[in-house]
Structure 1
Amino acid sequence: MEAASLPTSAAANPAVPLLDLASNDYLGLSRHPSLVAAAQAAAEAEGVGAGASRLVSGSRPVHAQLETALASWLGRDRVLLFPSGFQANLAAVTALADRHSLVLADRLIHHSLLSGVRASGARLQRFAHNDLAALEQRLQAARRDRPHQRLLVLSESLFSMQGTSPEVGPLAALCASHGAALLLDEAHALGVLGPGGRGLGYGLNGEGGQAEIALISGTFGKAFGSGGAFLAGGNLVMEWLLQCSGPFRYTTALAPPLAAAALAALACLQAAPRGVQLLQRAARWRTALEAAGWPRPPGTGPILPLLVGDDGCALALQQRLEDAGLLSVAIRPPTVPEGTARLRLVLRHDLPEGSLERLLTALGDPPCR
Structure 2
Amino acid sequence: MLRMSADHLDWVEGGVAAQLGDLDAAGLRRRLRLLQRDSVGLVTLDGGTVVNFSSNDYLGLAVSDQLKQAMVEAVSRHGVGSGASRLVCGNMECHEALEAALAEFKGTEAALSFSTGHAVAVGVLPALCGAGDTIVLDKLSHASLIDGARLSGATLRIFPHNNLEKLERMLVAIRAKNAKGRILVVTESVFSMDGDAAPLAALVELKDRHGAWLLVDEAHAFGILGPQGRGLVAGLRLEKRVELQMGTLSKAAGVSGGYVAASREVIDLLINRARSLIYSTAPPPAVAATAAAAVAMIGGGEGDRRRERLWANRAHLLSLLPELDADLVMAAIVPVMIGGEREAVAAAEQLMEAGFFAPAIRYPTVARSQARLRVTLSALHELVEIEGLVGCLRRHMV
Residue 250 (structure 1) aligned with residue 250 (structure 2): no
Contact 1:298 1:305 survives alignment (8 Å): no
Contact 2:94 2:285 survives alignment (8 Å): yes
Residue 315 (structure 1) aligned with residue 345 (structure 2): yes
Contact 1:92 1:215 survives alignment (8 Å): no
Matched to 1:352, the amino acid is E
3-state SS of 1:105 partner? strand
Contact 2:316 2:383 survives alignment (8 Å): no
Instruction: Compute the displacement of 1:118 (Å).
Output: 1.2
Q: 1:234 aligns with which of 235, 250, 263?
A: 263
Q: 2:104 aligns with which of 65, 68, 72?
A: 72
Residue 361 (structure 1) aligned with residue 391 (structure 2): yes
Tell me the distance in 2 between the aligned counterparts of 1:8 and 1:246: 32
Q: 1:331 aligns with which of 348, 358, 361?
A: 361
Tell me the distance in 2 between the aligned counterparts of 1:220 and 1:242: 19
Contact 1:286 1:296 survives alignment (8 Å): yes
Tell me the distance in 2 between the aligned counterparts of 1:35 and 1:19: 22
Residue 264 (structure 1) aligned with residue 282 (structure 2): no
Instruction: Compute the displacement of 1:287 (Å).
Output: 3.3
Instruction: Compute the displacement of 1:284 (Å).
Output: 3.1
How many positions carry a matched residue from both structures? Answer: 361
Choose 1 or 2 for highest CA Rg. 2
Matched to 2:347, the amino acid is L
Tell me the distance in 1 between the aligned counterparts of 2:322 and 2:34: 28
> Mean Cα displacement is larger for which, 150-159 or 272-281?
272-281
Contact 2:106 2:239 survives alignment (8 Å): no
Instruction: Name the residue aligned to 1:148.
Output: 180
Instruction: Compute the displacement of 1:295 (Å).
Output: 7.6
Tell me the distance in 2 between the aligned counterparts of 1:108 and 1:27: 25
Residue 108 (structure 1) aligned with residue 140 (structure 2): yes
Tell me the distance in 2 between the aligned counterparts of 1:344 and 1:16: 20
TM-score, with length taken from structure 1 = 0.93
Gaps of 5+ in 1: 207-211
Residue 343 (structure 1) aligned with residue 373 (structure 2): yes
Deviations 1:165-217 (A, max 9, x none): 111121112111111111111111100112221111224243xxxxx211111
Gaps of 5+ in 2: 1-25, 37-43
Tell me the distance in 2 between the aligned counterparts of 1:241 and 1:146: 25
Instruction: Compute the displacement of 1:8 (Å).
Output: 3.6
Q: Aligned-pair RMSD on alpha carbons?
A: 1.9
Matched to 1:258, the amino acid is V
Q: 1:89 aligns with which of 113, 116, 121?
A: 121
Tell me the distance in 2 between the aligned counterparts of 1:250 and 1:216: 22
3-state SS of 1:113 partner? helix
Superposed counterparts of 1:179-218, under 5 Å: 179-202=211-234, 203-206=237-240, 212-218=241-247
Tell me the distance in 1 between the aligned counterparts of 2:307 and 2:203: 23
Residue 6 (structure 1) aligned with residue 31 (structure 2): yes
Q: Percent identity?
A: 35
Tell me the distance in 1 between the aligned counterparts of 2:168 and 2:263: 25
TM-score, with length taken from structure 2 = 0.86
